[in-house]
Structure 1
């Protein structure tokens, strides 16, 4: 659905379709951001301080991704919906385990989720390219590159 006029030189139907694609990504991003915050608040163990800071840094990064996605949605004439209710309906990120506290448990849970998120973001690149929306594809590429680095940071803590 197109909520606002936009003079971006993409066909209106492309703008509507990209808005839907970006909206799903926005929901996933907000969900994952909150999972990083949950880990930040609840991590325990020998690496507490380092992981506490890492999870907060990653949450901030995903907050930035949310802004980028929401702003692209509105640039295309859509409405950026990021309420908890909408995120619950649209997110495909697995629910975060409520019963974990040890650093390695959080690292594994987050690494699993961010890997799937990265895959979905790369699919967004393909969809945007297929629709001829180079700007959205570029946005997805930027997020993909940063997401892969974030996954590397998480996985590095799990290697011995």
Structure 2
């Protein structure tokens, strides 16, 4: 721990929470710039709606990064938020630079945002285990926005509710769904 904190949690718990917050900080910084990569380079059908959606998602993630950094500082930690640290400590894969059309960007972003959501969901559990309701609440509120953004992104992949589709978690297929006959 770098700084004094009078938050009533054991030092070891605060150190673990700061590490977790720094992982989320790194991942959110990386995600912000990956979403901006898509925003700057999207082409094709539905350009303007997707261009604007990407900008909105990037803004949400930027604000989330700030909240993670500030909570780490409140716990007596040191926020590790440089670009180099973010790329080193992010949970995300590098952006697929072959993505150009809208659907390609959406697929890449859905995978990245789903990974980010899973990281935050793990944070909720861990903060609860460490008896820190404030950090747990920060993660819970963040996850609500992330999952809404994920829904908005995913909604661009499906032309109609009647179509066959596959649900995909980060890097793994969960189940195949088919419409009722």
Structure-1-length-normalised TM-score? 0.97
| More strand per residue | 2
Higher Rg? 2
Alignment size in residue pairs = 159
Q: Which residue of 2 aligns with 1:137?
A: 136
2:156 partner SS: helix
Cα offset for 1:51? 0.7
Task: Determine if contact 2:99/2:105 at 8 Å carries over to the other structure.
Answer: yes
Q: Distance in 2 between matches of 1:69 and 1:18?
A: 10
Cα offset for 1:22? 0.6
Q: Distance in 1 between matches of 2:60 and 2:51?
A: 15
After TM superposition, the structure 1 = structure 2 runs for residues 79-90 of structure 1, keeping only pairs within 5 Å, are 79-90=78-89
Runs of 4+ in 1 over 3 A off after TM superposition: none
Q: Where do 5+ consecutive residues of structure 1 fail to align?
A: none
Cα offset for 1:139? 0.4
Q: Which residue of 1 aligns with 2:94?
A: 95
Q: Which residue of 1 aligns with 2:37?
A: 38
Q: Which residue of 1 aligns with 2:154?
A: 155
Q: Where do 5+ consecutive residues of structure 2 fail to align?
A: 160-181
Deviations 1:124-156 (A, max 9, x none): 000000001110000000111111101100011
Structure-2-length-normalised TM-score? 0.86
Cα offset for 1:62? 0.2
Q: Distance in 1 between matches of 2:80 and 2:118?
A: 22
RMSD: 0.7
Higher relative contact order (CA 8 A, sep 6+): 1
Cα offset for 1:97? 0.5
Task: Determine if contact 2:91/2:115 at 8 Å carries over to the other structure.
Answer: no
